[in-house]
Amino acid sequence: MGAWGYGNIENECAQDMLAEKCDDYFRRITAGLQSAHGHEYDEYEHDELFVLCEMLFAMNERGMVNSSPKSDVLRPLFGPFIDRWAAYHQRAGHEPSAERRRVIEETFCKLLEISEGASRGSFHHRISLITDKMSKSKSDED
Protein backbone atom coordinates (compact mmCIF):
# COMPACT_ATOMS: atom_id res chain seq x y z
CA MET A 1 0.00 0.00 0.00
CA GLY A 2 1.33 3.39 -0.97
CA ALA A 3 0.93 6.43 1.21
CA TRP A 4 1.80 10.03 0.43
CA GLY A 5 1.01 11.63 3.73
CA TYR A 6 -0.22 11.18 7.28
CA GLY A 7 -3.84 12.14 6.68
CA ASN A 8 -6.66 9.67 7.07
CA ILE A 9 -7.21 9.32 3.34
CA GLU A 10 -3.68 9.90 2.04
CA ASN A 11 -3.07 6.29 1.08
CA GLU A 12 -4.11 3.86 -1.62
CA CYS A 13 -6.33 1.72 0.59
CA ALA A 14 -8.35 4.72 1.77
CA GLN A 15 -8.70 5.93 -1.82
CA ASP A 16 -9.90 2.48 -2.87
CA MET A 17 -12.44 2.52 -0.05
CA LEU A 18 -13.67 5.95 -1.17
CA ALA A 19 -13.98 4.66 -4.74
CA GLU A 20 -16.09 1.74 -3.49
CA LYS A 21 -18.42 4.14 -1.63
CA CYS A 22 -18.68 6.45 -4.65
CA ASP A 23 -19.40 3.51 -6.95
CA ASP A 24 -22.10 2.27 -4.57
CA TYR A 25 -23.73 5.69 -4.25
CA PHE A 26 -23.71 6.28 -7.99
CA ARG A 27 -25.06 2.76 -8.62
CA ARG A 28 -27.92 3.41 -6.20
CA ILE A 29 -28.57 6.88 -7.69
CA THR A 30 -28.66 5.42 -11.19
CA ALA A 31 -31.02 2.69 -10.01
CA GLY A 32 -33.25 5.30 -8.36
CA LEU A 33 -33.38 7.37 -11.52
CA GLN A 34 -34.52 4.32 -13.48
CA SER A 35 -36.71 2.79 -10.80
CA ALA A 36 -40.43 2.33 -11.28
CA HIS A 37 -40.98 4.42 -8.12
CA GLY A 38 -37.91 6.67 -7.81
CA HIS A 39 -39.79 9.65 -9.25
CA GLU A 40 -42.67 9.30 -6.79
CA TYR A 41 -42.09 12.04 -4.23
CA ASP A 42 -43.87 10.08 -1.50
CA GLU A 43 -41.75 6.95 -1.83
CA TYR A 44 -38.58 5.95 0.02
CA GLU A 45 -36.60 5.54 -3.22
CA HIS A 46 -37.18 9.20 -4.07
CA ASP A 47 -35.78 10.39 -0.75
CA GLU A 48 -32.88 7.94 -0.93
CA LEU A 49 -31.96 9.21 -4.40
CA PHE A 50 -31.60 12.79 -3.22
CA VAL A 51 -29.98 11.96 0.12
CA LEU A 52 -27.31 9.99 -1.75
CA CYS A 53 -26.80 12.97 -4.06
CA GLU A 54 -26.28 15.24 -1.04
CA MET A 55 -23.84 12.76 0.46
CA LEU A 56 -21.83 12.80 -2.76
CA PHE A 57 -21.92 16.61 -2.77
CA ALA A 58 -20.50 16.68 0.76
CA MET A 59 -17.82 14.17 -0.17
CA ASN A 60 -16.98 16.18 -3.27
CA GLU A 61 -16.49 19.36 -1.24
CA ARG A 62 -13.74 17.53 0.64
CA GLY A 63 -12.18 16.09 -2.53
CA MET A 64 -13.34 12.60 -1.69
CA VAL A 65 -15.14 11.61 -4.90
CA ASN A 66 -12.64 9.70 -6.97
CA SER A 67 -14.90 7.39 -8.96
CA SER A 68 -18.00 7.95 -11.04
CA PRO A 69 -19.85 6.76 -14.09
CA LYS A 70 -19.24 8.89 -17.15
CA SER A 71 -21.60 11.84 -17.52
CA ASP A 72 -22.98 10.42 -20.78
CA VAL A 73 -24.30 7.47 -18.74
CA LEU A 74 -26.08 9.76 -16.25
CA ARG A 75 -27.30 12.58 -18.51
CA PRO A 76 -29.90 10.53 -20.46
CA LEU A 77 -31.57 9.46 -17.20
CA PHE A 78 -32.44 12.96 -15.99
CA GLY A 79 -35.04 14.06 -18.57
CA PRO A 80 -37.17 10.92 -18.33
CA PHE A 81 -36.98 11.06 -14.52
CA ILE A 82 -38.23 14.67 -14.45
CA ASP A 83 -41.00 13.83 -16.93
CA ARG A 84 -42.18 10.90 -14.77
CA TRP A 85 -41.92 13.10 -11.65
CA ALA A 86 -44.08 15.83 -13.22
CA ALA A 87 -46.62 13.30 -14.52
CA TYR A 88 -46.86 11.72 -11.06
CA HIS A 89 -47.75 15.10 -9.57
CA GLN A 90 -50.36 15.71 -12.24
CA ARG A 91 -51.93 12.28 -11.67
CA ALA A 92 -52.14 13.22 -7.99
CA GLY A 93 -54.17 16.27 -9.02
CA HIS A 94 -51.67 19.10 -8.64
CA GLU A 95 -49.00 20.87 -10.60
CA PRO A 96 -45.41 20.08 -9.65
CA SER A 97 -43.62 22.88 -7.85
CA ALA A 98 -41.45 24.98 -10.16
CA GLU A 99 -39.08 25.59 -7.25
CA ARG A 100 -38.72 21.86 -6.52
CA ARG A 101 -38.15 21.19 -10.22
CA ARG A 102 -35.39 23.82 -10.22
CA VAL A 103 -33.74 22.16 -7.22
CA ILE A 104 -33.90 18.73 -8.88
CA GLU A 105 -32.42 20.12 -12.10
CA GLU A 106 -29.62 21.83 -10.14
CA THR A 107 -28.97 18.57 -8.32
CA PHE A 108 -28.61 16.77 -11.63
CA CYS A 109 -26.25 19.47 -12.93
CA LYS A 110 -24.08 19.06 -9.83
CA LEU A 111 -24.01 15.30 -10.33
CA LEU A 112 -22.81 15.81 -13.90
CA GLU A 113 -20.08 18.18 -12.72
CA ILE A 114 -18.93 15.66 -10.12
CA SER A 115 -19.07 12.85 -12.65
CA GLU A 116 -17.00 14.79 -15.16
CA GLY A 117 -14.47 15.76 -12.52
CA ALA A 118 -14.16 12.28 -11.05
CA SER A 119 -13.97 10.45 -14.36
CA ARG A 120 -11.16 12.64 -15.65
CA GLY A 121 -9.60 13.39 -12.28
CA SER A 122 -9.24 10.18 -10.31
CA PHE A 123 -5.62 9.56 -11.25
CA HIS A 124 -4.85 13.27 -11.45
CA HIS A 125 -6.46 13.82 -8.05
CA ARG A 126 -4.14 11.28 -6.47
CA ILE A 127 -1.09 12.73 -8.20
CA SER A 128 -1.98 16.26 -7.08
CA LEU A 129 -2.35 15.08 -3.49
CA ILE A 130 1.06 13.46 -3.66
CA THR A 131 2.63 16.48 -5.33
CA ASP A 132 1.09 18.92 -2.84
CA LYS A 133 2.25 16.81 0.07
CA MET A 134 5.76 16.49 -1.33
CA SER A 135 5.95 20.25 -1.94
CA LYS A 136 4.89 20.98 1.63
CA SER A 137 7.43 18.48 3.00
CA LYS A 138 10.23 20.05 0.97
CA SER A 139 9.34 23.58 2.06
CA ASP A 140 9.21 22.42 5.69
CA GLU A 141 12.74 21.00 5.36
CA ASP A 142 14.14 24.26 3.95
Quick one: three-class SS letters along 22-65?
HHHHHHHHHHHHHCCCCCCCCCHHHHHHHHHHHHHHHHHHCCCC
Q: Which residues contact 23 (CB under 8 A, 6 or more apart)?
A: 67
Strand partners, 11: 3
Give the model confidence (pLDDT) of 14-39 as tens digits: 889 999 999 999 999 999 999 999 99
Give the model confidence (pLDDT) of 58-81 as tens digits: 999 998 999 999 999 999 999 999
Compute CA 113 distance to the chain's CA centroid, rounded to the nearest angstrom. 9
Question: Average model confidence (pLDDT) for the chain?
Answer: 87
Cα separation, 142 vs 93, whole angstroms: 70
- Where exactly are the structural domains of the chain? 12-141
Task: Place 108 in a pLDDT band, splitting at 50, 70 and 90.
Answer: very high
